Amino acid sequence: MKNIEGAKQHQVGIKDCSFGNGCTVIEPVNLYGVVFGEETFVGPFVEIQKNVTIGSRCKVQSHSFICEFVTIGDDCFIGHGVMFINDLFQEGGPANGDKAKWKSTQIGNDVAIGSNVTMLPVSVCDNVVIGAGAVVTKDIVKKGIYAGNPAKLIREL
């Protein structure tokens, strides 16, 4: 990497994380301030920010981004390229680090989130499947299969 005069360079890797027994992490990753349950898998090219909790026996596939203030239950699957968002640009632009404007996301147990899903700050109940490419804009309170933009219930489970 070329050193550009005056540029700030940060190397994170894995920092200040708590791992339950049997976790697997495939580098390169950026994980900082994350709490993991037991036997959780994290694939390469994943970034998970601080103030995130991921339960036991979860899989987070490659190229996913999990921002601050996300809680994921047990036995969940996060597909490739899933993006979690905590800033809704409520004032017409980014909150610029004002965490008081950021929102949280809660994912229940036994939730499968397909590849390239975008998760806005929502709550998702247990036993849900979210189809690839969906955009989740509202809370999901009924178990089932959801897909589309915006994500809608397509079949009850």
In this structure, the dihedral spanned by the alpha carbons of residues 70, 75, 81 and 86, taken in order and rounded to 10 degrees, is -10
Identity of the residue numbered 139: D
pLDDT at 4: 67
Strand order in the sheet with 34-36: 34-36, 52-54, 70-72, 105-107, 123-124
pLDDT at 9: 75
Mean pLDDT per 10-residue segment, the chain (157 residues):
70 92 97 98 98 98 98 98 94 86 96 98 98 98 98 97
pLDDT at 99: 87
Q: How many residues does the chain have?
A: 157
Fold designation for 14-86+103-156:
UDP N-Acetylglucosamine Acyltransferase; domain 1 (2.160.10)
Instruction: Find residue 53's DSSP bridge partners.
Output: 35, 71
